[in-house]
Structure 1
Amino acid sequence: MKPVIVVHGGAWAIPDAFAEASVAGVKAAAQAGSEVLKRGGSALDTVEVAVRTMEDDPVFDAGHGAVLNADGEVELDAIIMEGKTLAAGAVSSVRNIANPVSLARAVMEKTDHIMLTGHGANLFAESIGVPILMPDALVTKEERKEWEHYKKYIVGVKELFNSQWGHDTVGAVALDSFGNVACATSTGGIRNKMVGRVGDSPIIGSGGYADNKSGAVSCTGHGESILKVTLARLILFHMDQGRTASEAAECSLQYMGERVQGGGGVIVVSPTGDWTATFTTERMAWAAMDGNLLYYGLNPKENIKETLN
């Protein structure tokens, strides 16, 4: 099986000021994940490494670049799932944790549960020795400025999602040389969200799903819309019916737009290595490593290819 990794840095109206850094960030994440695959590593390790790379990059709304809620605080969500056994772990509304995707994996591997939230997730993190940061350690000066500017607006107005409210959830899907798939998704949510709001990202079947029999998906976009249609699982349903990754992604996003007027984007990989990065928002930063070929894009229909040694 030829290994593949695909990553995204969020589907929204990415401003020109963030465009170059967003593309550079997803390319770096795809290459970091590809190095794991080249060493014979698992799809699970691959998606964790790729997402951690983006959590550590302040250009993205995850980890060190997280946006702020209505009270000016960071609340992070993440999921990770592997397709062989359907094992999964997730966390929501966690604070002061640089890499929530790794905490989600710890929930999967060290507890009998799938999701921990809020105070309980932070207590678990402390119990296993995850470093706890100072409250403002994950907040950039730029985000604090943006939050101050936009906090006067009404929270949760869907029509604003592609502009002020949108930001870059990150995610990765991978197929390893053993034929196993995995997914991971991580986010700081929507700027000025209500305290305690949880979107699609940590929810199995919505923000992500992985099954060796169907494929792996990571979603980004308007979380409430994605939740309503369980977008990740919907895409894999269409793939089970014989559609390609691209066909399944396109018809599912179209359905979400028509049914609940939601915009978003997805990355998908099938058990045979068929993959896609598809979105209905103005832009989505994405990258893929397929063999020694690096693919990436930002704008609709954009698919740039580079050959790496």
Structure 2
Amino acid sequence: MSKPIAALLAIFALFPLALSAQPAPEETEPVRWSLAIHGGAGTLKRENMTSEQEEAYRCSLQAALDAGAEVLASGGDALQAVEAAIVLLEDDPLFNAGRGSVFTWEGANEMDASIMDGRTRAAGAVAGVTTVRHPIHLARAVMDDGRHVFLSGAGAEQFATAKGLERMPPAWFATERRRKQLEVMKSRQLSALDVEYKFGTVGAVARDQAGHLAAGTSTGGMTGKRWGRIGDAPVIGAGTWADDRSCAVSATGWGEFFIRAGVAQAICDRVRLAGEGVQQASDTVIAEVAEMGGDGGVIVMSNAGEAVFSFNSAGMYRGRADSSGTNEVAIFAQD
């Protein structure tokens, strides 16, 4: 064998050793728990919001995110985390849920909420309640009771009394800001969407350390709504859905279109049955809503703990946190 060939073979012989000497790639620790929240979607532009207003919203979102994350980090379940985040948003007059809900045409505050357990697909929902401080707690009580899924109006109020849930006088939910929106709508003969083009519905989705999912949504509906109108927020499959086999979803937007598209369940079905990723499934379904003429957005949690957002409006109040250290809140589309 010639010396050049022998030298070349000697060089090649070194390659397996060199490859074996490379450090093994670091394995990413799987997410143990994950949480995402929203406070509504709509025409949210930075130039239309003062720095003080923006900071107030960001602080409120962070507080709700922290409340839910604390539950999950300490080993609590996904349902508890969803409730913990939503109750803070229901008490915050910045958002259209609980205190700070918009007014109906007749000048009342009527609230809706729903919640769903991804383990069993048990669900609870309420609509048109006027004195229950935390509609999300009432929805949870309906689910836990198990005899029904959806209660409304006076019957839902009676059920709240039977369960001993906290009540507040109707005036407690009213704010001057929301009252002025109704007055502007009536005086200028505007549509509900023209008064303040935001959907302040609140919601949360979570994956706990046991790998279970949950979703919840709460809202005051649309400014100037009439005839007992109900949007998508309390409709299981439209505004809320959770299934451990796929994902959990909470929606916010123009409810009539979200109901027609069955948005929340449609996203999870695409994940489970078509094998799509949660971002792809979410974007596809929100695009369908846009094609019909509606807008809004969703927060989605995969059963692996991936939290994503999808919306076709200028912004959405949102946030997410997980066990890997992610902790962020955002408002505008470009955030």
Residues 39 and 316 in structure 2, CA contact (< 8 A), matched pair in contact too: yes
Within the candidate set 29, 38, 43, 1:8 is matched to 38
Structure 1 Cα separation of the partners of residues 72 and 259 of structure 2: 31
1:251 has 2:281 as partner: no
Structure 2 Cα separation of the partners of residues 162 and 51 of structure 1: 26
Counterpart of 2:264 in 1: which secondary structure? helix
1:74-89 matched pairs, under 5 angstroms: 74-89=109-124
Unaligned runs of 5+ in 2: 1-30
Residue type of the partner of 1:58?
P
Structure 2 Cα separation of the partners of residues 162 and 38 of structure 1: 41
Q: Residues 163 and 257 from structure 1, CA distance in 2 versus in 1: closer, same or farther, beyond 3 angstroms?
A: farther
- How many angstroms does 1:293 deviate by? 2.0
Q: Residues 171 and 22 from structure 1, CA distance in 2 versus in 1: closer, same or farther, beyond 3 angstroms?
A: same
- How many angstroms does 1:142 deviate by? 1.6
Residues 13 and 162 in structure 1, CA contact (< 8 A), matched pair in contact too: no
Matching residue of 2:93: 58
Structure 2 Cα separation of the partners of residues 129 and 66 of structure 1: 22
Residues 183 and 216 in structure 1, CA contact (< 8 A), matched pair in contact too: yes
Matching residue of 1:47: 82
- How many angstroms does 1:242 deviate by? 1.9
Counterpart of 1:63 in 2: which secondary structure? coil
Residue type of the partner of 1:16?
M
- How many angstroms does 1:111 deviate by? 4.2
Q: Residues 165 and 190 from structure 1, CA distance in 2 versus in 1: closer, same or farther, beyond 3 angstroms?
A: farther
Give TM-score scaled by structure 1 length: 0.92
Residues 199 and 254 in structure 2, CA contact (< 8 A), matched pair in contact too: no
- How many angstroms does 1:41 deviate by? 0.2
Residues 128 and 153 in structure 2, CA contact (< 8 A), matched pair in contact too: yes
1:295 has 2:328 as partner: yes
Structure 2 Cα separation of the partners of residues 143 and 149 of structure 1: 10
Larger Rg: 2
Identity %: 38
- How many angstroms does 1:21 deviate by? 2.3
Q: Give the superposed CA RMSD.
A: 1.6
Residues 116 and 214 in structure 2, CA contact (< 8 A), matched pair in contact too: yes
1:213 has 2:245 as partner: yes
Deviations 1:164-197 (A, max 9, x none): 2533000000000001000000000011111411
- How many angstroms does 1:23 deviate by? 2.3
Structure 2 Cα separation of the partners of residues 165 and 71 of structure 1: 20
Residue type of the partner of 1:164?
E
Matching residue of 2:8: none
